[in-house]
Structure 1
Amino acid sequence: MSSSRYLEIMDTTLRDGEQTSGVSFTASEKLTIAQLLLTDVKVDRIEIASARVSDGEFAAVKAITKWAKAKGLLHKVEVLTFVDGDVSVQWMQKAGAKVMNLLTKGSLNHLTHQLKKKPEQHFAEVAAVIALARKKGLECNVYLEDWSNGMRHSREYVFQYLDFLQHQPVKRVMLPDTLGVLIPSEVYEFISSIVQRYPGLHFDFHAHNDYDLGTANVLEGIKAGAHGIHLTINGMGERAGNAPLASAIAVLNDFLPTVKTSVVEKSLYTVSKLVETFSGFRIPVNKPVVGENVFTQTAGIHADGDKKNKLYFSDLMPERFGRQRKYALGKTSGKANIENNLAQLGLHLSDPDLKKVTQRIIELGDRKEVVTQADLPYIISDVLNSNTIEEKVTIENYVLTHSKNLNPSVTLKISIEGELFEEHAQGDGQYDAFMNALKKVYKKRKQELPSLTDYAVRIPPGGKSDALCETVITWSYNGKEFITRGLDSDQTVSAIKATQKMLNQI
C-alpha cells in the first residue's frame, strides 16, 4: 500500500439508516440532511433511498436530485436498485438520479435459497441490468449482499462472481457485512485477499454493528486496502445499526494518518443533533464523539489533573468536533470540578466556603438529584446564607390558556431589573406561547434571548399524575451551551422555572 492514499466516505443514513425501527424521514428532512452531508460534512457520496419503495421516497429522491444537479453534485447521489429488468432503471430516470447501487447476491446460500438460481443465471440477469443502465446513461455500483457469509462459507462463489464483475462496466464493488457477524481479523483477511486478487477494481466496505464491532471492522477494512467505507450518522440502521460516521472518522484521523478523507470533523456534531431531532432516535449520552456526556469529566481527580497539566486530555479533544469540555456536578465531584464551573460563571469562593458547597453537592448527588452549573449560585446562597444570587429577573405573574380549536396563549408579567413588562402571545403550545411573549419583552429591550437546543422532561419511574416533573432545558448563547432545570408538578410551570434561571444567568 502507498504511503498516503485517499479514502471515499459514503454516508447511507438516508437509505440504510432509515431502516432503523420506527424512523421515517419526510422529503424535506431528507433534503436538509443530504445538503448538510454534501456541503458541510463534505462526505464523498450519499445513498439516499431504495428504488420503488413508495411515492414519498420518490418525491424525496426527486427533490434531492434536483438540488444536487443545480449544485453540480448529482454524481455524488446514489440509490439502491434491484435486479428487476428495466423497472429500477426506469424509476431512476424518472427520479432524476444518475448513480445506481445494484443489490445482488454475495453468498451461495442467499442465491440458492432466496433466489433459487444458479450462479450463471444470476450473473446473466445482473449483466443485462448493468447494460441497460449504462445505455440509459446511469453509473453502476454493485452490492454483494451477505458477502461476509459468502467469504466464510462459499468463497469459490464470491471469487467466481468477482471474476465476472471485473469485466463489467461497474465503478465500484461494495462488500457488506450484512448481518454484522465479522470480527476484525476476518475483515482484514477477506478484504486484503480480494484487493490483492483484483487490483483493477474499486472496493467499498459496508459494516454493521451487531457485535459492537462496526468501527473496529471499518479500521481493519481500511488497513486491508478498502477504497471506500459506508457509514451512517449516529450509527443508525437496522437491528444494532451501521458503523457510525463520527466514530469512524475520529478513529481514522487518529490511527491511520496516512489515509485522507474530505470529511470536516467540526460539522459532525451539528449534523448528528439534527438527525437526532428529525428521527426521534435519541443519541445515547455515552456514545463516542457525539454523546452528551463523552466530554464531561465527573471524577474530581480528573478535573484536578486537567487543571494542573491537562493530565486527563487525549487526542480526542472536544474542540475538534465543535464541542466543549464540561465538569459534572454530583457525588463524585471534587473541589476542582466545582472550581471549574464557578470560574465559568465568574464566581470565586474561599477554601472554607468551597468545602461547604462541595459537601452540599455531594449530598444532593447521593440523593440522585441532578445538579447543573446554573444551580450553583442558588446552592451557594442556600449553604452560605449569602446574597450571591441576585434575582434581576422575576416572573411576577402569568395566565396560561389552552382551549379546544384555539391556539394556546399566555399573558405574562415580568420584572427585569425593577422594570415591569406585560405581554400577550400565542403559540403552538403553552410553553411556546410563553416564549413568544418573552421574546416580545426582550425585543423591546433590544436584547436577544438564547436559542433552545434541547428540552427534556423527566418524571420518576412509577410516578403518578401528580408526580413532580423535572424539565431540563439546554440553551445556546454566544457560542456556548448551558443547562437550566425546573421542578414542579406541572410540566409547563417547571419549564417556566427553568427559563427564569436562564434569564438570570444571561
Structure 2
Amino acid sequence: MTKRKIEIMDTTLRDGEQTSGVSFSVSEKLTLAKLLLEELKVDRIEVASARVSDGELHAVRQITDWAKSKTCSDRVEVLTFVDGGVSLNWMEQAGAKVQNLLTKGSLNHLTYQLKKTPDQHFKEIAETISLALGKGIKTNVYLEDWSNGMRNSPEYVFRYLDFLTVQPVHRIMLPDTLGILTPLESADFISQIVKKYPQIHFDFHGHNDYDLGVANTMEAINAGCRGLHLTVNGMGERAGNAPMASVVAVINDFLPHIDISINESSLFKVSKLVSAFTGFGIPVNKPIVGDNVFTQTAGIHADGDSKNNLYFNNLLPERFGRKRKYALGKTSGKANIQKNLQELGLTLNEEDLKKVTQRIIELGDKKEKVTKDDLPYIISDVLDSGSYQQKAIVKSYVLTHSKGLKPSTTLSMEIEGETFEEHAQGDGQYDAFMNALRKVYRSKKIHLPLLVDYAVRIPPGSNSDALCETIITWENNGREFITRGLDSDQTVSAIKATEKMLNII
C-alpha cells in the first residue's frame, strides 16, 4: 500500500508562545528550533510573528542564520500581516524566506474587524503576495476564523478560495481559530474544499477548546488535508492547540496509510525541555508525555503484565524513550512489588513478600507516596521487625508541642501483657517520649540503654517525602547496638526504632 505523506508543521515557537505567561528567550528559541527540525524531524516550524519586538527579530535572525547553514531556510516560517509590506520588510531584516500571511477566513471577521469588503481584502492580499514574490519570499495563507466562516458564510469562503487558488501561493491553511469544530464538521468542511480544489495543498490548524483537537486533526487527515499544525504539549492560546505527541501516536497507530517524518523517540525529551523553558508543568495524566501514563498502579494490572502482557496496549513506553513503572501504594499487590524488586535485583520469599506488601499498603492508606528507591529500607525495616519476639508494645501516645510550654508526651504501652501509662515533659517531643518511657521502666526497676547517636535520613535517590529512616545507636552494659525505624513522620520513626530497642533488651 502506498502511503500518503502528511507534513507536520510545529508552531510551538509562534502560536504556542501565545500561552498566557510564556515568552521564549533568544537562546531558547534557537535551541528548540534546532531540536524540532533535526531531532524530532518536523517538516516545518513557525517561529514568530513579524513586527512583535526587537528581541523577536534577533531570535528569528539567529534561527534563519542557522537554517541557512543547514540549507533548510524554506522550513522556517513567520506569521505576517496584510500591512502594505511592513511585515515583509521585517522578514527581510530577519532573513526569513517563507511568510504565513494572516487573512480573514470568515465574513464576520472581515466585516467587523477590518470593516472592508471582500474585494478590498482580496486586492490587498494580492498586492502583498506580489510584493513577497518580488523579494524572493514564498507565501502560505492563513484563513483566520475559517471554521466559523464555513459554518456561517460558506459562500464567502469559497469565493475567497477561488481567488487564492489562482495566486502564487504554496499552501492554504485552514485554522479552527476558536476551537469550535466537531469531528463531523471537520470531516465535512474539509472534504468539500479538497473535493473542489484537489490540486491545492491544505493545512489544518486545530485548537483544543472542547478537547477535540486530536479528533478533528484525525478527521482532517482522512478528509484530504496534506499538512497539520501542532504544538509541543498542546501549548497555545486558551486551551491550546492540537498536541504533537498525541497526534503523532494516533497517526502511527490508527492511520497506517499515512506517512509522517516524526521521530517518536524524541517526543518525551522535547516535551520535557519545553516544559522546563516555559515553567509550565506537564499534567501527570497527559497522554504520551505525562509522568503517570506508563505507570501501572493496580496490583492486578502488574500481575496481568507478567502473564502475557495482558494490560499492555500499542502505546509501549519504549517507543517514546520511556519505561513502564509499577506504582507502590495501597492498591499495590505482590506483583507490583515484585516488578520493582526485579529492577533492583532483589528477591524475597513468599512470607516476607506478604509482610512488605502489607507495610506498603499501610503507607498508602496514610496517603504516602512510596517509590522504588524506598523499597530496600522498607524491606530492612519489616524483616528486622521479625527478627525478635515482640514483648514490649508501644500501644498509643499523644505528643504535644505548644508555644510557651515544654513539649510533653502521654504514653501507653504493654510489657509482657501488662499495661502502663505515664506522662512526661522534655526538651523536644522525642525527649518527652523517652522521659515517659523511663518512668515506665523505672517502675519495673529496669535501666534503659544509653542513647549514643541519633541520625535521620531519607532513602538516597528517593524523590518522595513518604519515608524517613531514624537510626539510633544504643549502649547497654558496655555493648553498642543499632536499631532503625521507618515512617513518614520523623518522631514516629524514632519511636519505632526505640520500640525495637525495648524488645532487643
Contact 2:214 2:243 in 1 (8 A): yes
Match of 2:68 in 1: 69
Shift in Å, 1:4: 2.0
Instruction: Report whether the alignment pairs 1:164 with 2:163.
Output: yes
Structure showing greater radius of gyration is 2
RMSD: 1.9
**AA aligned opposite 2:236:** G
CA drift at 1:471:
9.9
Percent identity between the aligned chains? 69
Residue 327 of structure 1 aligns with which residue?
A: 326
> Contact conserved, 1:472 with 1:484, CA < 8 A, in 2?
no
- Aligned equivalent of 1:263: 262
Quick one: distance in 2 between partners of 1:275 and 1:107? 33
Q: Aligned partners of 1:281 and 1:368: how far apart in 2?
A: 26
Contact 1:381 1:387 in 2 (8 A): no
**Aligned partners of 1:15 and 1:47 also within 8 Å:** yes
1:59 is aligned to 2:58: yes
Deviation at 1:356, TM superposition (A): 0.8
Q: Which secondary structure state, in structure 2, belongs to the residue aligned with residue 309 of structure 1?
A: coil
Tell me the secondary structure at the aligned position of residue 210 of structure 2: coil
Q: Deviations over 1:273-310 (max 9, x none)?
A: 00000010110000000000000000000000000110
- Secondary structure of the residue that 1:385 maps to in structure 2? helix
* Counterpart Cα distance in 1 of 2:2 and 2:224: 12
Q: Does 1:341 align with 2:340?
A: yes
Counterpart contact for 2:370–2:467, Cα < 8 Å = no
| Corresponding position of 1:140 | 139
Residue pair 2:459, 2:467 contacting (<8 A) in 1 also: no
- Cross-structure match for 1:464: none
8 Å contact from structure 1 (residues 335, 358) kept in 2: yes
1:287 aligns with 2:286: yes
Are the aligned partners of 2:8 and 2:42 in contact in 1 as well (CA < 8 Å)? Answer: yes
Unpaired segments of 5 or more residues in structure 2?
Answer: 388-456, 469-489, 491-505
* Equivalent residue number for residue 232 of structure 2: 233
Query: How far apart, in 2, do the equivalents of 1:246 and 1:485 lie?
Result: 31
d(CA) in 1 for partners of 2:154, 2:458: 56
After TM superposition, the structure 1 = structure 2 runs for residues 207-246 of structure 1, keeping only pairs within 5 Å, are: 207-246=206-245
The one-letter amino acid of 1:319's match is E
Contact 2:368 2:466 in 1 (8 A): no
Task: Indicate if the aligned counterparts of 2:369 and 2:466 stay in contact, CA closer than 8 A.
Answer: no
Distance 2:276 2:32 in 1: 11
Partners of 2:320 and 2:126 lie apart in 1 by 44
The corresponding residue for 2:371 is 372
What is the deviation of 1:484?
Answer: 5.7
| Distance verdict in 2 for CA 1:471–1:215, change over 3 Å | farther
List per-residue Cα deviations over 1:330-354 (Å, max 9, x = no partner).
1110000000001100111111111
Q: What is the count of residue pairs matched by the alignment? A: 400
Q: Which runs of 4+ in 1 moved over 3 A?
A: 470-473, 482-488
Letter in 1 for 2:77: E
Counterpart residue identity of residue 238, structure 2: R
Q: What residue number does 2:446 align with? A: none
Deviation at 1:53, TM superposition (A): 0.4
In the alignment, structure 1 segments of 5+ residues that lack a partner are: 389-469, 476-481, 489-496, 498-506
CA 1:332 to 1:146, structure 2 compared with 1: closer, same or farther past 3 Å? same
Give the aligned partner of residue 304 of structure 2: 305
Deviation at 1:382, TM superposition (A): 1.3
Distance in 1 (alpha carbons) for counterparts of 2:68 and 2:464? 44
Task: Mark the CA change 1:107 to 1:472 in structure 2 (over 3 Å): closer, same or farther.
Answer: farther
Shift in Å, 1:472: 11
Question: Conserved in 1, the CA contact under 8 Å of 2:14 and 2:46?
Answer: yes
Alpha-carbon distance in 1 for matches of 2:153, 2:459: 54
CA contact (8 A) 2:139 2:168 kept: yes
- Find the counterpart in structure 2 of residue 5 from structure 1: 4
**C-alpha distance in structure 2 between counterparts of 1:370 and 1:199, whole Å:** 56
Which residue does 1:98 correspond to in 2? 97
> What is aligned with 2:116?
117
Deviations 1:143-200 (A, max 9, x none): 0000000000000000000000000000000000000000100000000110010112
Tell me by how many angstroms 1:387 deviates: 11
